[in-house]
């Protein structure tokens, strides 16, 4: 079904080497002429680079700048404060969950460290592990 193809191509012949053979003389001529131009007119080349950088900076701050997103005009202050409140609420809820997780982990570690567990210890361990599992599900959607 699948047959390995063999080639008689010389492994030294690559696309880059063939392109260099074909177009290398043109590249050498262009590089020589470019170097000759830079040697003849260094002040013009330097001035042109500076002007082009200034034009680029000017265009980037005027024509090509990012437009600000359109804000709903119906109550922009209310929208900002509601999203801010929601974000802070989620942050506080996450912090509280993390604090509870740390406390449960300490409780589980102390119960596991005991050599023998009583029935109350077993029940507390089971409750703590269930609560940890619930908190873990809350963080992973």
75-84 tens-digit pLDDT = 555 555 566 6
- pLDDT reported for residue 9: 78
Residue 27 lies in a domain: yes
User: Is residue 28 included in any domain, yes or no?
Assistant: yes
Write down the pLDDT at residue 13: 85
Could you tell me what percent of the chain has a pLDDT over 70? 87
pLDDT at 47: 98
Q: Is residue 25 a part of any domain in this protein? A: yes
The parent domain of residue 54 ranges over: 15-66
CA–CA distance, 35 with 53 (Å, rounded to integer): 21
Number of structural domains the chain divides into: 1
Examine residue 76 and state whether it is found in any structural domain, yes or no. no
**Selection from 94, 97, 122, 93 nearest residue 107 by Cα:** 122
The answer to whether position 23 is within a domain reads yes
How much is the pLDDT for 141?
Answer: 60
φ and ψ of 69, to 5 deg = -65, 145
Examine residue 49 and state whether it is found in any structural domain, yes or no: yes
Q: Write the pLDDT tens digit of every residue in 22-67.
A: 999 999 999 999 999 999 999 999 999 999 999 999 999 888 888 7
Per-residue model confidence (pLDDT) at position 81: 57
The answer to whether residue 139 is domain-embedded is: no
Q: Does residue 111 lie in a domain region?
A: no
pTM above threshold 0.75: no
The reported pLDDT for the residue numbered 68 is 75
């Amino acid at each position: 079904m699948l047959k390995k193809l063999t080639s008689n191509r010389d492994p030294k012949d690559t696309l880059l080497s063939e392109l260099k053979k074909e177009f290398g003389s043109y590249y050498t001529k262009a590089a020589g002429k470019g170097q000759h131009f830079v040697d003849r007119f260094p002040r013009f080349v330097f001035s042109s680079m500076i002007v082009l950088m200034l034009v680029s900076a000017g265009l980037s701050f005027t024509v090509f700048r990012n437009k600000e997103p359109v804000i709903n005009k119906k109550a922009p202050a209310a929208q900002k404060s509601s999203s801010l409140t929601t974000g802070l609420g989620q942050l506080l809820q996450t912090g509280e969950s993390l604090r509870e997780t740390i406390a449960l982990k300490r409780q589980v570690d102390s119960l596991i460290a005991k050599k023998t567990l009583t029935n109350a210890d077993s029940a507390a361990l089971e409750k703590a592990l269930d609560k940890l599992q619930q908190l873990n599900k809350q963080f992973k959607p």
